[in-house]
Amino acid sequence: VTDESNTFCPLAASPSFQREMPYVDFRDFLFVHKDSESSVENDVSRYGDILPTIMGMLDEHIFSTNPDTGMPKINEVLIEPLTKSQSNVTGTLTFNEMLFSHNFHGIRYLPDIHTNFSASNFRVENMHSFGQPLALMETRSTDAYILDNQITIGVEPKPLRGSASLSVNIENDGKVTQNKVELSVAIQAGNVLASIMAKLDEIMVLRFPLKDVMNPYCWLATVPLPVAIGNETLAGEIHATLALAEIKMIIGQLDLTVDCVNCTSPGIKEVSNVLNLLKPIDTLSQITNNLLNSTAEMLKGEYLQTQIDRTLAVAARKCPHNAAYDPDFEPLERHKPFSTAPAFTESLVESFLFAGSVAVQAMLVVVAVEHLHFEHEHVDPVSAQNSMAVPNSINLIDLTELSERAGGLFKMGLDQVNSKLGGMEVDPTGPNADTSGLDLGVNVLMRSTLLDTDRSLTIPLNAEIVEGVSVLTLKIMGLDTFTDFRALDPIAAQTFMNELKWKELQIELVVAVGHIIETNSFGSDEVASLLDGSSAPPSQDVNNITVQLGVNDVEVAMAFLLALDQDKLGDLQLGSMLYMNQILPCVLSAVYAFDISQLSVLVGSIERPSITGFSSVDIESSVAYATDAIFEEYEDKLVNAVPALFEKALLPILNNFVQQYVTDESNTFCPLAASPSFQREMPYVDFRDFLFVHKDSESSVENDVSRYGDILPTIMGMLDEHIFSTNPDTGMPKINEVLIEPLTKSQSNVTGTLTFNEMLFSHNFHGIRYLPDIHTNFSASNFRVENMHSFGQPLALMETRSTDAYILDNQITIGVEPKPLRGSASLSVNIENDGKVTQNKVELSVAIQAGNVLASIMAKLDEIMVLRFPLKDVMNPYCWLATVPLPVAIGNETLAGEIHATLALAEIKMIIGQLDLTVDCVNCTSPGIKEVSNVLNLLKPIDTLSQITNNLLNSTAEMLKGEYLQTQIDRTLAVAARKCPHNAAYDPDFEPLERHKPFSTAPAFTESLVESFLFAG
C-alpha cells in the first residue's frame, strides 16, 4: 500500500481524453446487448468493465428465465429466501404490528362524532410471482440514450395480494359502532414499462466525485439544460435532455374483497355484496386500467416534462461539487418543480368520474343499509323551542302574536299567500292544459317567473374544479310539480312549519372536460413567455358529461325554530336593509337561536341515475351496467332508508352547518347605514333613486342607484310588472287576477266579493228632545262588497316624476265597466211610539262606476334620518313624520323669508262616472219607507246622485288643497319628534296646547262645498 505503483489511480477523462459524442452512450456504458451498434466501435473499455460485468451478472442470474419453472430467476434467487427469512412463509412479507391508529374528534359539521381508524397486520403474498418480460436499464441497439425498464408480477396462478386488518370505531350521541374488516387487494398479471431518455454529459459523469454519488441533484446536474432554458437566444428547436420516453401500465385483473371479522354496522357488512355485483364485468379492473392508462397518458404529456426541466434548471445550484453551487439558492415559487397541479387529460377525468360514480353509489348503499334499522320516531316539531333556555333580559319575537297584530294582517297575509300558492288556478298553457286545465298556484308562478321554457331551473356555475375540468350548469326539473304547498305556518311562538309535496324532482349536472392538444413536447409556461408568443396556443376539445338523478312522489315536512331578539332586530337601521346582499347578515345578527327541529322526507320511488357523454363507449357502458346492477339490488332499500337518512344523518349536519354559519361574525356583520364617511349630494331623499321605478329618471345623482340599495327598486319593479301593469288578454290591471280575485274567492267563495254576514252594529235610541216617548232601534248587517276585481287604468302607487325628486303620484281607478263597484247592507229601523210599532228592513245598495282618485304627495324626508331609521319604529307614523324637517313658519322663530312646506298634498282629484243608489224593502210596515225607491227612480234621468257626489268630491278636494289641511299637517310635524321613541326630542309626557293640536278646529267650508251640501240636502 506504500508502493505508488499500486496506489496510482488514473484520472477519469484526462485532458487528453477524446470523446466522440457529448453524452454517455448507454449501450457502451452498460454493454448489455451484444448486438450494440454504438458509435464507438470495439471501445468497450472506454467506460470500463465494471458496469457491463454487473449488468451481465444481473441478466444471467436475476432477470433470465429458469427453464425448469418458466419464471425469472429473481423469484428463487432473491424473493423466496428474503420473504422466507422475514415471515417464514415463501413469497410473503408480514408486518403484524400496528401500522397506524388515528383518532378524529369531530368533523366540520359533525363536531360530536368521534372516530378511531386503525390498520394492522399488513401482509403481502405471492411476491415470488415475477414473470417475463422483466428488465432493468435495458439498452436499445438503435438509440444511445434510452433505458427500458419493465416489470411483470402476479403471474398465474399466483396473483400478488396485499391485505390488512382495518378497524373503524365510531361514537356518536352515546352510541358506539365497532367494525373490524379484512381488506384484500389481488393483482393478476400486472405489468409496468417505463423507458427513460437521458443525455448525461460524458465528461461530468466520468469526473463525478464519489462523495456526491447519493446526491440526486448532482446526477441531474450532469444532464445539460434543454435549449429553451439553457440557451438565452433560444436558437434552434426545443429538445428535451431528460424525459419519460414511454410508459405503459396495465393489470390483467384486480380483485377487491372486504370481509367482516367483527362488524356492528349493517352497512359495512353489505360492502362485500356490492363488490360481488360488480364482478361480472370486472368493473374494478376496468376502473384501475382506465386510471393507469390515463395517468400514463398524462405523464407522457407537457406537465411532467415541464417539472423535469424545472428540476434540471436548479440542479447545478444544489450540487456541492458543481461550480454553480449556491447553498442559499431558492427558485421563485412559480418556477419550483411541482408547484402547480397538472391539467388532467380528458381520459383521466373520465376515469375518475367512472371510479367516483361507482364509489358514490356503493357508499350510498352502505349508508342506506346502515339506516334501515332505525325506526321512524315521531318528532315534536316544537321540541327545539321547548328545550330553549331564554334569559329574562332577552325579549324574543312571538310569531303567533305577530300573526294577530295589525288586525291579523301578518297571519292573513301568510294565509292568503299559502291559499294563492297552494290553491288551484286556471292554467291553459301548463302541463294539464289538455286535461283539467288547472294547476296549483305555486306551479303557475314558478313557470311564469323562475323556470325556463322547458320548465327547468338552470343555474350557470362555470366553476373550474381543476384545470380543464369545469362544472358548467346545474339544472333542476320538477319544481313546478307541487301537489301540496304550505309554508311558514307559525305553529308556536318561535316555530315555523313547512309542508311541501312534489310529483317529481330531477337534477342534471353538466361537467365539461377540456382536452388540451399539446403543440410541443416542452411547453413550460416560462418558455412560452420567453418565446414572446411565437409558439401557437394549444387548441381545446371540450366534451360534456351529464349526470342525472331523480325521485318521485316527494313529501317534505320541516319545522324550524327561529328565535329573533326583538331588541336587536328593532335596532337595525332601515338603510342597512335596503341592499339585497345585506338582508341575510343583518337578520342573522338578530338571531338568538335557530334549529331545524323536524325534517321528514319521504319518496315514492327513485329514478335510476345515469351518467352519459363519455368519449369512451366502454366506460359509458360499464357505468350503466354498474348503476343498473346496484339499483336493481338496492332500489327498495334506498327508498325505505330515505326518512332515516334525512332524520338521522342529514339533519345533524344541517343543524351544525347552520349553527356554525350564524355564529360566524363574518356572516352576521350588518354594516351601519349612512356611516360618518357617508357623503350626501342633497339633504332630502330623492324618490327617483330611492324607488327607481321610471327608466327615464333624471335624478341629480346620475347612475347612483346603489346609493339607496336595490331592495325597493326591485320591489317596485315587481309591483309594476305583476300588479299594476295591464294584462293584454283582459285589458285590465293584473292586480285583479293576482290579488283581488284569489283573496275575495278565499273569503267569500265568490270571486270579487267580500261578505260580512254578522251584525255590523245595533243601537237603541230612547226618546228625542221633543218626543221623549219614542223608542228606536237601528241596526245594520250582511255587509257585502261586489266587483272588487274591477280595477282599471290608470293605476299607480308611489310613482315618481322625472322632473321632481320629492313628489309621489298615487292613482286608483275602480268600477270599470261592465263591473261597477257595489256595496250593500241590510238595514233595520224599528220604531215604537205611543204603543205602536213599525218595523222596516231594507236592502241598501250603492254602485259606483268608473271611480277615480288621484293624490300626489310632496314629501322632503331627511336622507340621513331615513337611512338610520330603526326598524322597531317602522310602524310609528310620528317617527316617519319626524324625518320631515319643519317648514320655515314653524322652524324659524323670526318667520323671515317665504314659507315653504316640507310635506303637503300637492294635488288631489276625485271623480266618479256614475253613482246608483237603491233602497229595496224586504219587510216594511211604514208606507213612507216603501216610497224611497220610487223617489230615487225619479232622480235618475238627470243622474242627480252622481252630480251631488261629484260636486261634494270636487269641493272636498278643493278644501283639502287649501290652507286648512296644510296647517294641520304642519302642526302634526311640529309634535312628531316628541312622539317618536328613537328621536332625541322624544317626550312620553308631551301634550301640545289645545290650540296647537292637529285638527282641533273645524275647517272653514268653501263656497262650493256649502253649495254642494245644500244641493244634497
Residue type, 368: A
Is residue 754 a contact partner of residue 744, using CB atoms and an 8 Å limit? Answer: yes
Neighbours of 815 (CB within 10 A): 23
What pLDDT, on the 0 to 100 scale, is given for residue 457? Answer: 93
* CB distance 527 to 302 below 8 Å: no
Q: What is the pLDDT of residue 417?
A: 76
Q: What nine digits make up the cell of 485?
A: 304547498
Backbone angles phi, psi at 406, to 5 degrees: 50, 45
Give the full edge-to-edge strand order of the sheet including 771-786: 754-768, 771-786, 821-833, 836-849, 914-924
Q: Which amino acid is at 343?
A: A
Q: What pLDDT sits at residue 19? A: 64
The neighbour count for residue 178, using CB atoms within 10 Å, is 14
End-to-end CA distance of the chain: 147
Q: Identify the sign of the CA torsion 970, 975, 977, 980.
A: negative
One-letter amino acid of 614: F
**How many whole angstroms separate alpha carbon 440 and alpha carbon 433?**
13
Specify the amino acid at residue 112: D
DSSP symbols for 79-141? IHHHHHHHHSSTT-EEEEEEEEEEEEEEETTEEEEEEEEEEEEEEEE-TT--EEEEEEEEEET
Instruction: Give the count of beta carbons closer than 10 Å to the beta carbon of residue 887.
Output: 20
Retrieve residue 797's grid coordinates.
Answer: 302607487
pLDDT of residue 737: 87
Please state the φ and ψ torsions of residue 645, each to the nearest 5 degrees. Answer: -60, -45
What's the angle, vertex CA 331, arms to CA 330 and CA 333, rounded to 5? 115
What digits encode the pLDDT tens for the residues 618-664? 888 989 999 999 999 999 999 999 998 898 888 988 988 888 888 88
Is the Cα dihedral 307, 313, 315, 317 positive or negative? negative
Q: Which candidate, 849, 844, 852, places its Cα nearest to that of 784? A: 844
Low-confidence ranges of the chain (pLDDT < 50): 32-43, 229-237, 406-407, 515-539, 693-705, 890-898
Q: Give the residue from 848, 962, 818, 960 showing the smallest Cα distance to 911.
A: 848
> Which set of grid coordinates corresponds to residue 460?
350557470
Please report, to the nearest 10 degrees, the dihedral formed by the alpha carbons of residues 102, 108, 114, 119 taken in order.
-30
* β-sheet bridge partners, residue 440: 424
At 410 the pLDDT is 61
Distance CA 288, CA 278 (A): 13
In terms of C-beta distances under 8 Å and separation of at least 24 residues, what long-range contacts does 534-543 make, across chains too? 540/514, 540/515, 540/516, 541/346, 541/514, 541/515, 541/517, 542/512, 542/513, 542/514, 542/515, 543/346, 543/512, 543/513, 543/515, 543/613, 543/614, 543/615
> Can you name the residues that pair with 486 across neighbouring β-strands?
499
Best CA proximity match to 905, nearest among 954, 982, 833, 963: 963
Name the residue with cell 316555530. Answer: 495
- What pLDDT does 1002 receive? 67
The answer to whether residues 245 and 146 touch, using CB atoms and an 8 Å cutoff, is: yes
pLDDT of residue 409: 54
| Residue that the C-alpha cell 331551473 belongs to | 457
Peptide bond into 877 cis (omega under 30): no
Strands 131-140 and 110-125, sheet pairing: unpaired
